Amino acid sequence: MDNKIYVKVDGKLYRTAKGTNLLEFLKSVNINIPTLCYHAKLSKTAACRLCLVKTNKNNIITACTQEITENMEVITSDEEIEYLRRSVFELLVDELNTDCDTCQLDGLCELQQLAKQFDVKLHKKSNKYKQDTSSPVLTYNPNKCVKCFRCIKACDEIEGKGVLNFAYRGQDMYVVAGLESWASSECDGCGECVQVCPTAALIEKNLLNFDKVIPFEKHVTTCIFCGVGCQMDVWLKGKEILKVEGADEIPNHGSLCVKGRFGIDGLLNDDRLKTPLIKENGEFREASWDEALNLIAKKLTYIKEKYGSDAICGLSSAKCTNEENYIFQKFIRAVIGTNNIDHCARLCHASTVTGLIMSFGSGAMTNSISELEKADAILITGSNITEAHPVIATFIKKAIKNNNETTAQ
C-alpha cells in the first residue's frame, strides 16, 4: 500500500511519506530552517522556537513538532516569519554571556552561526551563574546555556542514565547533575551531553588548555580500549589532540564511554615515556629504537641458544589491534620457535570462548551488537556490563523496553 502524500512547500509540490516530521523533511530537500534544540537522535522539544513556519490558513507552528499531513501547504520564509525568528533569537541571547573572543569554540558554535544568519551581535555580559567545574572531564557554564534540553535528553534517551535535569524555571533555569555538583552526581563522564551541546555551555576540560580550536584537522580512527570497535573523530591541532568525539558510524553511532572520549590523558601527560629505556647498573637511561631493538634481539638469541626456544614466552595485549597481535604470535611461533604465547584477555574470557566453541563451533562472536535489540532473551554475565559500555547498555535497555511493550500488548 502506497502511503505517499503530497505537500506543497513555498509553492513547490513534493511527495513524501505520511507522518514524516516536517523539519526533517525540509532539511532533506535542502531548505534551511534555523534551530538550536533539534537533534536527529533526540525526541522533539520545540524549546528554542526558531523553526517557525506557516501552514494552512497561516497557522504559525514549530516545524520540529509537526507531522506532514495530506495536502499540507507550508511557507518557510516571509517577512513575518523572519521577524518572529529574529525576535525570538534576540530574546534568547539577551540572557547569555556570549563572549566569542575568549571562547575556544569560536567559529564552531551553532549559536554564533545563527547570530550571523540573523545579523544579531553577540556581546560579553557579566556572569549570572557560577560555573560547575567539579567534573574531572567537563565544565558546565550556565551563562552560555540556551536551555535547549539536548544534554538532558541525550543523557536520558541515548545513554539511559537520567543524571541531568533543569533546576528552577523561567530565566533562573539551568542544568544540574544530581542534587549538588557534577562530581557528586552519578555522572560517569561519557560526555554524550558535551557532544550534543550547541554552544560552549558544556565543554571538555582539555579544550580549556587551548585559546582556539580553529584551525584543526579531524581524523576518524578506531577506539582500542575494548573489543567493540567504536569509531572516533579525533580533533588535532598540529600534533596535539584537542578533543575526541564519537563518529556517527557503526557500531557506536556517535556514542563513546568515558575511556574512549576522555582517555587521552596518557597521550598528553608529561610523564609519558617517549623513548625506549635500557637498565644499566640499576638505573634506566634513554636509548634509540635501533639500540633497544638490537639489545632485545641479542638477549632473545642468547636465551634461545643456551636454554632453548621454550625458555621464552610472549604475552600480547588487548590494547593492540588484531593485526599487531597476529604479527606478534607469528614472531613467537615462527622466529622464536615456541608456542608459549598468551593473551591478557584469556584470564577473563576463557570461559566464554569455550562456551562459544561448544555451542557454535567458533571462538568468535556470531552476531552483531545491534542484534541485542531484537533478542528474545539476553543472558548477562558480569553485571557491570551495562555500566562499562554505553553501546551495549543502550541496546539492552531498548530490548527490555521493546519486550515490555510487546508483553503489555
pLDDT tens digits along 182-218: 999 999 999 999 999 999 999 999 898 888 999 999 9
Most confident of 24-38, 155-169, 251-265: 24-38
pLDDT confidence band for 48 (50 / 70 / 90): very high
Contact 10, 74 (CB under 8 A): yes
Q: In the chain, helix, strand, coil percent, each to 5?
A: 40, 20, 45
| pLDDT higher than threshold 60 for residue 405 | no
pLDDT confidence band for 240 (50 / 70 / 90): confident
Position 189 scores a pLDDT of: 92
Q: Class assignment of domain 4-92?
A: alpha beta
Query: Which pairing describes strands 341-343 and 314-316: parallel, antiparallel, or unpaired?
Result: parallel
| pLDDT higher than threshold 60 for residue 50 | yes
Distance CA(257)–CA(30), nearest Å, equals 33
| pLDDT higher than threshold 70 for residue 381 | no
Average predicted confidence (pLDDT) for the chain: 88
Taking only the tens place, the pLDDT of each residue in 301-334 is: 999 999 999 999 999 987 777 888 999 999 999 9
- CA 141 from centre of chain: 20
The answer, as to whether pTM is greater than 0.85, is no
Which parts of 108-216 are beta strand (E)? Answer: 138-140, 164-167, 174-177, 202-204
Mean pLDDT of 387-397: 61
CATH for 102-110+124-212 (3.90.1010.10, 3.30.70.20, 3.40.640.10, 3.40.470.10): 3.30.70.20
Distance CA(264)–CA(221), nearest Å, equals 14
Give the residue among 343, 351, 297, 311 at the shortest CA–CA distance from 324: 343
To the question of domain 215-272 being in CATH 1.10.357.10, the answer is: no
Distance CA(346)–CA(353), nearest Å, equals 9
| pLDDT higher than threshold 50 for residue 408 | no
Domain boundaries, the chain: 4-92, 102-110+124-212, 215-272, 277-343, 346-408
